[in-house]
């Protein structure tokens, strides 16, 4: 038995790239509009990423500082996608739904901890 492809996949080449870019921007707009945690982290990133270029003395330090903040945003987007998918399937309390949401939340917590550690190590020198 072979896996079926999504009926929404069909564009190739430049059309696929344009469509993927449009969908990515739509995803970012949805995250800003619907996800409180993402908005909070985005505001924090708007402050911290420019600050990373002030605090960091080398390109590597700047990349680590800014990258750790971007990592938090990326993980939050993935967590929000998991939560939306679980909610789409059912609002019923189920141990697997809870596990999926808790694991996504744990990933965000680890990303935040990583960012805090990177910032502390760079600032303390």
- The residues assigned a catalytic role are 76
Q: How far apart are CA 110 and CA 65, in angstroms?
A: 15
Report H helices in 4-124.
13-34, 36-55, 59-89, 95-124
In the chain, what's the furthest Cα-to-Cα distance? Answer: 57
Q: How far apart are CA 49 and CA 51, in angstroms?
A: 5
């Amino acid at each position: 038995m072979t896996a079926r492809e999504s009926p929404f996949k069909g564009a190739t080449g430049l059309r696929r790239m344009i469509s993927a870019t449009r969908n990515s921007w739509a995803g970012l707009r949805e995250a800003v509009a619907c996800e409180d945690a993402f908005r909070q982290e985005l505001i924090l990133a708007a402050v911290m990423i420019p600050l990373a270029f002030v605090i960091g003395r080398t390109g590597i330090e700047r990349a680590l500082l800014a990258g750790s903040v971007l990592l938090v945003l990326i993980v939050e987007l993935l967590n929000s996608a998991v939560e939306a998918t679980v909610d789409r399937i059912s609002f019923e309390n189920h141990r697997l739904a809870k596990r999926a949401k808790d694991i996504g939340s744990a990933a965000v917590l680890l990303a935040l901890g990583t960012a805090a550690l990177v910032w502390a190590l760079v600032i303390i020198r």
